[in-house]
Structure 1
C-alpha cells in the first residue's frame, strides 16, 4: 500500500510538468497543393517543371469513388485490411467511369517517431502508356505496355518529409482520415508522410491483362515500431476535371466504398505476463499494459515499473502518449489521466 501511495504521489507531481512538443512540416493545406515524391528519379510526370505533382480535387467528396486498394485485383472495389505482416502485397484498382488513371502515387504514413534504422522497400508492376491527348479517354490497347518492374526502391526515415499530422489531402475542407476508423480527435496521434511515384497507371479491370490492369504494390518494412497506413492517389494528364491533376484517392469515410491497407507492429507481453498489451479504445496507443482487455490503475503501476523495459523491447510509439519518441514519466501521467 505504501508503494502504491508513493506512485500516486509521483503521478500527481508529474501531472503539473506534463508537456508535449512536436516539430516538422505538415502539408500546407488539404487541397490544391504541390507535393514532392520520395523517388530518387523524381516525378514521372513533371508537368509544372518543379518536379512536383499538383493535388487538386474538384470539391467536397469528389474524387473518392473511382480509386481503391484491394488485396485481390479481381475485387476492384477493394476492402479495408489491417495486418501484422511486415511484408506483403496489395493493388491499386479502378472502378471509375473513364476507365484509367495515367499514374498512381502511393502515400505512406508512419505513426509516431520513425526509428533511425527504419527502411521500406517498395516494388511495383503494372502498365504504362503515352497519355491520350483526348480528354477522359482511356489509352488504345496498342499503346499500352506491361512493366514487370516499374519501381524497386528502398526508402528511409529521411524520405518522410511531411508531418507530423493526422490527415491526408482531399477536396474536403476539413481533416480527412489517414486510415479507416481513425479518431481525428486524437490530435497527438500523428503521422509522418511520404509520397512515392509507382511509375505505372491503372486500367479498368480486364481479365486479359496482368493483374486485371491493376498496379501491384509489394512492401517490406524493416524496423517498423508502430503503425503504417497506405493510401493511393491518381494522376491524369487530361481529363474532364482538368489537366495535370492528382484528383482521386481511396475513400476512408462511409457511406462511400471504403478501402485501405495498414500494418501494425504487435506488442509483446510484459515480463511475468502471458497476454500482450492491448489498445482498448483503438486510438493507436496502448493503455492495457497487462493484457486483460481493459485499462485500470494496475496498468499504470505496471507501466511505471517497466518503463526501461518498454523502451528497449516494445514498439515505442505504441506506448508514447506524448509523442516525443521516448518512454518517460509524462507518458505514465497521461495514462493515469485517461483512467
Structure 2
C-alpha cells in the first residue's frame, strides 16, 4: 500500500471527524450519522495501517481520533452496585471456572511437591540440621512452641489483616507476573510449597504432624485454593503469550489480562475470608475437629460457588471479562 496515496485519499475524512468531535454545540441528527460513519471508516483505516505499513505518527493520530470518536459514540458509563453484583455472581466465578484446567493440576502438583519436601526433611536428620540448630528446632516444634504460638502471638484483628494483605499481594503477583512467560509464577508457587513442606517435615519428625495439620487446615484449605487459582490463572496468561489460539496475540492477552485483573479483586475477597478464619478460628479454643470443620465448610462453599454459579455463567457465554461496552473496539485485520 502506498502510504502517501492512502493519506491523500482519506485525510479529508479524518479532518472532518476531528472537527465534528471538536464541536462545542450539540450535533444534529445528520451530523451524528456522519460522525458514526466516519468513526467506522477511520477505525478500518487504522487497522489497515497497523496491518500493512505502520507509520508511528499517523497510527498515533488515528488511534487518538478513534478513541475520541468511540467515547462520543458509545458514551460513558458509571460503575454501579449492579456491576459489582454481576461481577460476584457471574464474572468472577466464571473466570475461576474457565481456568480450572490450569489451577486444578497446579494444586495437585504443588501439594505433591510440598508433601515430597516434607517427607525428605522428616526422613533425613542431616537436612533438618541444615535448617536450624537442634535446640531451635525443638523450640519450634514442641507443645506451645513457635508453630503453635504463631497464630495467637498477635491480636486476632490485626493478625487477620496482616495475613490478608500478604496473601492478597502474593495472589496478585501470581496473576500479574504470569505475563512474564510463567517463570515468576512458578518461583512464587515453589516458595509457598517450600514453606509448607518445611513445616510438615519438622513437625512430622517431632511426632506432631497431626497438630500441625490441625492448625493449618482450618484456613489453609481456602487460602491455598486461592493461591492455586491465582497461580493457575497466571500460568494461563503466560501461555496465552506463547499460544494465543485463533485470536490475535494482542486481543488474547488483553482479554485474559482483564479477566486476571478482575480475578485479583475476587480472590482478595476469598483471602479476606481465609484471613478471618486464620485470625479468629485457628487460634481459638475450639476443638480441632470443629476448627477443621469450619475450614472444610468454607472450602466446599467456595467450590460450590465456582462450579454452580461459575459453571452456569460460563456455559451462558460469560468470559470473566469486562462488559462489552467497556472493551476496546475490535478492529478488522487485513489478511
| Fold match by TM threshold 0.5 | no
TMscore range, shorter length = under 0.3
Higher helix share: 2
Larger Rg: 2
TM (normalized to structure 2)?
0.25
Q: Of the two structures, which has the highest relative contact order with CA contacts closer than 8 Å and spacing of 6 or more?
A: 2
**Structure with higher strand content:** 1
